[in-house]
């Protein structure tokens, strides 16, 4: 049985240990511990300051490269698209500023911009599937139906893009696609001529669901189907990253040329170059993203067809299924 003396000795031992700890902490150990802690704090401060210096230098270099490429871009892309006509297509959520920047860049490259079209959410949403099915059923006299509704609608938009704006069929399809109650497109810049190529600008920001969320991939799959169904030479410019449309295109079997990071100066060079590759039946994957094959690509020289004038179609143009007959010169 434990008696009182045992408890007394235990208490004395505890108090002696505390006393020794206080004496040592206030004396010999205090200085060594304090110096060690101070050294660690100073080391962390130095590391933080150096990291800030390195980050500032990296940002300055990146800004210098960006500025340099922006300065060089007009000269590098000049005349690469001479004789070509390009339609600008914006996916839902695309930045108007980015679209305008690439519009000006295409003109620098020698292309004529035939117009600008915005795709609405109605083109891809699951809620409008019934309406899209009904609309696709009305396109049979204008385009060859595809294996899917989205594919047929993509061919309808392609018909609008590559057919003379005055053609009755193109005008009818445009009105059908613009129907106010369920508009699939908005024409933000009137189409003036048949396009030989298409530039599609992707959304500026894309919501990436968390791993724990149930994901409905209908919209993403519809977008992939839409881009894959277009036969006209086309380049998709979009942001790279997990869960993005561009990542899905590159990871899948879609035969679509892609340029990532459309707001980066490299895209100002890559987009015209990629369009020349598409016009020469090549598919490319360029940009600064991890999934890109090249940071900067190279152009293909596009020769004008014999007798063609600048601004008219060049070699590599897709056949126009509904051409406008030229007016005879009676002089």
The model's pLDDT over 153-200, given as tens digits with 9 standing for 90+, comes to: 999 999 999 999 889 999 999 999 998 788 999 999 999 999 999 999
DSSP structure class, residue 315: T
Assess whether pLDDT exceeds 80 at residue 278.
yes
> Is the model more confident about 125 or about 313?
125
285: phi then psi, degrees, rounded to nearest 5:
-135, 100
The most confident of 3-7, 38-42, 146-150, by mean pLDDT: 146-150
Assess whether pLDDT exceeds 70 at residue 87.
yes
Distances (CA, A) of 39 to 31, 48, 155: 12, 14, 69
Assess whether pLDDT exceeds 50 at residue 331.
no
The model's pLDDT over 16-28, given as tens digits with 9 standing for 90+, comes to: 777 666 655 555 5
> Is the model more confident about 34 or about 203?
203
The whole-angstrom separation of Cα 26 and Cα 31 is 9
The whole model's pTM is what?
0.76
Q: Which run of H or of E encompasses 119?
A: strand 112-119
Assess whether pLDDT exceeds 80 at residue 33.
no
The whole-angstrom separation of Cα 108 and Cα 171 is 29
The model's pLDDT over 290-309, given as tens digits with 9 standing for 90+, comes to: 899 999 999 999 876 544 45
Mean pLDDT of the chain: 83
The whole-angstrom separation of Cα 63 and Cα 330 is 59
């Amino acid at each position: 049985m434990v008696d009182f003396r045992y408890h007394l000795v235990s208490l004395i031992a505890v108090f002696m240990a505390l006393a020794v700890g206080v004496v040592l902490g206030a004396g010999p150990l205090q200085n060594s511990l304090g110096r060690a802690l101070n050294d660690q704090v100073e080391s962390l401060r130095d590391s933080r300051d150096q990291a800030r210096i390195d980050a500032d230098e990296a940002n300055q270099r990146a800004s210098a490269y960006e500025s340099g490429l922006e300065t060089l871009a007009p000269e590098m892309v000049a005349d690469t698209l001479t004789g070509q006509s390009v339609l600008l297509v914006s996916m839902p959520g695309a930045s108007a500023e980015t679209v305008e920047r690439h519009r000006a860049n295409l003109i620098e490259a020698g292309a004529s911009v035939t117009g600008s079209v915005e795709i609405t959410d109605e083109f891809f949403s699951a809620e409008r599937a019934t309406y899209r099915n009904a609309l696709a059923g009305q396109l049979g006299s204008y385009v060859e139906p595809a294996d899917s509704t989205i594919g047929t609608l993509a061919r309808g938009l392609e018909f609008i893009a590559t057919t003379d704006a005055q053609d009755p069929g193109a005008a009818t399809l445009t009105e059908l696609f613009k129907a106010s109650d369920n508009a699939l497109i908005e024409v933000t810049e009137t189409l003036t001529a048949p396009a030989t190529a298409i530039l599609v600008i992707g959304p500026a920001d894309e919501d990436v669901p968390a791993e724990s969320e149930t994901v409905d991939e209908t919209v993403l799959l519809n977008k992939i189907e839409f881009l894959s169904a277009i036969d006209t030479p086309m380049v998709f410019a979009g942001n790279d990253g997990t869960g993005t449309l561009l990542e899905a295109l590159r990871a899948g079997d879609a035969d679509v040329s892609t340029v990532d990071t459309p707001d980066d100066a490299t895209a100002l060079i890559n987009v015209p170059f990629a369009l020349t590759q598409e016009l020469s039946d090549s598919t490319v994957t360029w940009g600064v993203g991890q999934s890109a094959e090249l940071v900067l690509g190279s152009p293909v020289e596009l020769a004008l067809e014999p007798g063609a004038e600048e601004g008219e179609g060049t070699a590599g143009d897709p056949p126009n299924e509904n051409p406008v007959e030229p007016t005879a010169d009676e002089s």
